[in-house]
Amino acid sequence: MSQKKKVCDYKPSLENIYFDHSASTHVCKEVLDAMMPYFYEDFGNPNSVHSYGQKAAAAVDSSRRKVADLLGVRPSEIYFTSGGTEAANWVMKGVPLTREKNEVVVSSIEHPSVLSPAKQLAQKGIKVNFLPVGKNGIVSVDSLKKVVSNKTALVSVMLANNEVGTIQPIKEMAKIAKQHNAYFYTDAVQAIGSIPVDIKDLGVDMLSLSGHKFYGPKGVGALYVRGGVRLEKLIAGGHQERTMRGGTTNVPLIIGFALALERAIKNQKENAARVKEMRDYFVKEIFAAVDHISYNGDRENRLPQNASVTFYFIEGESLLLTLDMAGIACSSGSACSSGSLEPSHVLVAMGQKPEEAHGSIRFSFGIHNSKEQIDRAVCVIKESVAKLREYSPLWHEFVRAGIDRPKRK
């Protein structure tokens, strides 16, 4: 880092820094403006027959067509949901299981919204195969070949991991699933808007996305279900979403979701280059400033915004709290697992020891982050890690023993 910037002279109260865009992004102004009329002017229920309802219904239909066009699929293949977790649960619990098709395959680094219902299926006697992952965070295609069979009803592998950002070989795995007449689902919540995604080219049967990952509103997402795929109803008791998901349609959020997706895909290349520049700058600076750290996941085959770093000999939660008090927001992993005291299942699956996984922090960058913010954050991180290690028995044991661990990975 340049000494001229004097980043250590920054006062935390002067500026708050947000490095947790994989957890959520803010709603952009254009999207917010598009949503507002449907809260108070065009507030009709789209399932009502009067003019208020029909105006709302037309707006929802237009948004569905827009989403479908952007994803290169048919409007009838798009179902609006409350987000990625709901969509994943719908798939895991909605794919019909029969005597002939009674096995499920999921990767060991899936989001909890896939792993939890998978474990519920296992408790009911359904055979669930968990695919291992390499140290680079990528699921092996060969591992799928070993467990998939004609009894497999569903294969679920996420397109891009939410913790370490690794991009999976979905196209190759979807082909293998099809050879055994198994449905293939991919959680693309982290990928949409960050990398180009061609659903038809991937060859998947189902794909989920969520608005708040690409500067849209929280509480709304979509599930692509290829025409001809059999899926049980998620919520019975209403005619919404072609009777598959009952409940009053959330018109404002759907409007915002569609516009945010349009903006994300239109600006994907430019935005990805921007956040990758920030991410790469951060990685360079943090490795120059702090010893005994590692960069988790594949160095190249990963999302442009993600930097998962393990700081050895400290607790990640302690570092998170220290950074938060300095006005710097980041994450220890998935926001959906933030209440758990367990080490990251993703990092453990990649071969890290539990005590090492506990020292991992996910930094995820957005289009408004700057190098000046990164300079300040690196300075605070360096000082914070040094202080936390002074209180760490593991650090002092390491110093006394002179363990020959590489300074950086």
Handedness of CA 342, 348, 354, 360 (dihedral sign): negative
Residue 121 CA, chain-centre distance (Å), reads 23
Q: Report residue 386 as tokens.
A: 């040094």
Q: Which one of 8, 330, 336, 379 is the catalytic residue?
A: 336
End-to-end CA distance of the chain: 19
Q: Phi and psi for 176 in degrees, rounded to 5?
A: -65, -45
Look up 336 and say whether it is catalytic.
Answer: yes
The CA distance from 192 to 261, in Å, is: 8
Residue with tokens 């219904």: 57
Residues in the chain: 409
Active site residues: 336
